[in-house]
Amino acid sequence: METSGLIRTLLHSIVYSQPLEERGEVARGGTGSIRRAQEHPLGRQVALKQLLESCEAEPVLVRNFLREAQVTAQLDHPHIVPVHQVGLRDGKPFFTMSLVEGQSLSRWLRTAILIDYDTVVDFAEILIKVSDALAYAHSRSVIHCDLKPANIMIGAFGQVYLMDWGGAEVLEAPPENGGAPVAVTVAPLPTQMTEGRLFGTPSYIAPERARGERGDVRSDVFSLGAIMYEFVEGKPPFRGADTRETLIQAGRCDCRPPNEGAHGSHVPPDYYRILRRAMAARPAERYQTMLEMRADLGRLVRGGGSLPRRTYQRGTTVIQEGEVGDAAYVVASGQLEVTRQEHGIEVVLRTLGPGDVFGEMSLLTNARRTASVVALQDSTLVTITEDLFRRELEAMQPWMASLVRTLARLFLEQERS
């Protein structure tokens, strides 16, 4: 075969092959269906999203569908699914994006029935990735407007993607840090078609947007806080008998405060502090940027999620009365017993379980251990080393570090008296 013939054969096998071959539906939402498809020219699997036939006569829904493709394509971020192409198939609008193999955060929450410290850290790490995506979008003057667990996808290998930018709003304010603005070239609709329409999910919506007011980046902060609320309460903050009642609840920020004792010591107090600030009724009392909230979520994770762990077998002495301590411990699982020698007799002081902390006084005061701790059953402990503890103290304001040390000495003196 001639060289030119070989070249034509090669080109035909790629360039002129069938562009997309559908492989079956994988999900369906209110306005679109998502199908697995084979993109033959490049040999890759993609997700093909196509507008539902029932929505084709609604100009607002068609425009939102096209806006979703256009806005998402311009948000180039690791936690936002890349859009590859947009067009018409059999006269119906579609766009393709990277195929995410995994599950929605909604499904993940349903499986996270047992909340322990590890689950909290896993969830916080998911939220950090979502907040990264949002912070980037906000820097491009885009707010998502419909944050909810169903719009967050978790890949099979730890990927996290924030989906469904169809209701996103492009703010008039210029992008932060001099970034390029997101351009929306989809033709606008007559005002009477969009006036009074509210985009978002009432159960997670910020109060100002539920009242029909203009939102900003702090509205996304609120909705991310609402997702945190669902994690510990098992349901979203606003749940009326119908959409109207739910929106009234949201507009008043009328929800029951989270029960901070429901999960014992498994959920750190800082988790609830972040949740309360994110879900403040007044935007001025929330985190003012997504980066601020992301920083607090990062500190929550660093507070113990990545600390070393060790399992002690039943009967093992973890710390010995009288020795110089160089670590404190948090009980992740198991049961331990605290004892002390009094006049030659071993006295049981208390029993420790998951979430309890011991050994911290020696780190604070450089004093010898005042009691022994023995594992009553196989127990896993999170270890807080002296070096880590000192670094955390140094990171505090000087007056706070001094106050912590002073209080520790006072408690130790009171315990010895």
Residue whose C-alpha is closest to residue 271's, from 304, 308, 310: 304
Task: Output the pLDDT for position 289.
Answer: 95
**Among 132, 146, 164, 220, which one carries the catalytic annotation?**
146
Instruction: Domain 309-416: state its class.
Output: mainly beta
pLDDT tens readout for residues 213-237:
989 999 999 999 999 999 999 999 9
For the residues 155-171, what does the mean pLDDT come to? 89
Equal CATH topology for 15-98 and 102-180+199-302:
no
Backbone angles phi, psi at 20, to 5 degrees: -135, 135
**What is the chain's length?**
417
User: Cβ-count burial of 117 within 10 angstroms (0-12 exposed, 13-18 middle, 19+ buried)?
Assistant: buried
Identify the burial level of 215 via C-beta atoms within 10 angstroms of its C-beta, where 0-12 means exposed, 13-18 middle and 19 or more buried. Answer: buried
Instruction: Read off the pTM.
Output: 0.70
Q: Which residue has the higher pLDDT, 95 or 189?
A: 95
Confidence of residue 250 (pLDDT cuts 50, 70, 90): very high
Structure token digits, residue 357: 């902390």
Task: Say if residue 41's pLDDT is above 60.
Answer: yes
State how beta strands 317-319 and 372-375 pair: antiparallel
CA dihedral 126, 130, 135, 140 (to 10 degrees): 160
Average the pLDDT over each of 241-245, 266-270, 317-321, 329-333 and give the range with the smallest value.
266-270
Find how far residue 284's CA is from the centre of its chain. Answer: 22
What does the pLDDT average to over 19-35? 80
Choose among 190, 94, 212, 200: nearest CA to 144: 200
SS3 at position 107: helix
Tokens representing 146?
């419909």
* 307: confidence class by pLDDT, cuts 50, 70, 90: low
Tell me whether residue 290 is exposed, middle or buried, using C-beta atoms within 10 angstroms of its C-beta: 0 to 12, 13 to 18, 19 or more.
buried
Q: Do the beta carbons of residue 175 and residue 141 sit within 8 Å? A: yes
Average pLDDT, the chain: 84
Task: Provide the pLDDT for residue 179.
Answer: 66
- Catalytic annotation on 146? yes
Domain residue extents for the chain: 15-98, 102-180+199-302, 309-416
Using CA atoms, how far apart are residues 16 and 395, in angstroms rounded to an integer?
61
Does 275 have pLDDT greater than 70? yes
pLDDT band at 242; cut points 50, 70, 90: very high
Architecture of domain 102-180+199-302 in this structure: Orthogonal Bundle (1.10)
The rounded Cα 400 to chain-centroid distance in angstroms is: 30
pLDDT at site 305? 46
Strand 92-98 and strand 83-89: the pairing is antiparallel
Looking at residue 163, its pLDDT comes to 92
If pLDDT is split at 50, 70 and 90, which confidence band does 260 have?
A: confident
Look-up: residue for tokens 């971020």? Answer: 77
For 15-98, the fitting CATH number among 3.20.20.70, 3.30.200.20, 3.90.1150.10, 3.40.50.2000 is 3.30.200.20
Tell me, what's the pLDDT at 156? 81
Query: Is it the case that residue 50 has pLDDT exceeding 70?
Result: yes
3-state secondary structure 216-267: CHHHHHHHHHHHHHHHHHCCCCCCCCCHHHHHHHHHHCCCCCCCCCCCCCCC
Residue bearing tokens 């006084």: 361
Segment 313-321 shows an average pLDDT of 94
- DSSP-assigned letter for residue 368: B
pLDDT value at position 129?
97
Mean pLDDT of all residues in 353-373: 83
Instruction: Quote the CA–CA distance of 123 and 109 in Å, as a whole number.
Output: 9
Strands in 327-333's sheet, in edge-to-edge order, are 309-312, 379-385, 327-333, 357-358
Name which of 173, 212, 174, 221 is nearest 194 in CA terms: 212
Q: What mean pLDDT do residues 233-251 have? A: 94
Residue 392: the pLDDT is 65
pLDDT of residue 391: 62
pLDDT value of residue 402:
67
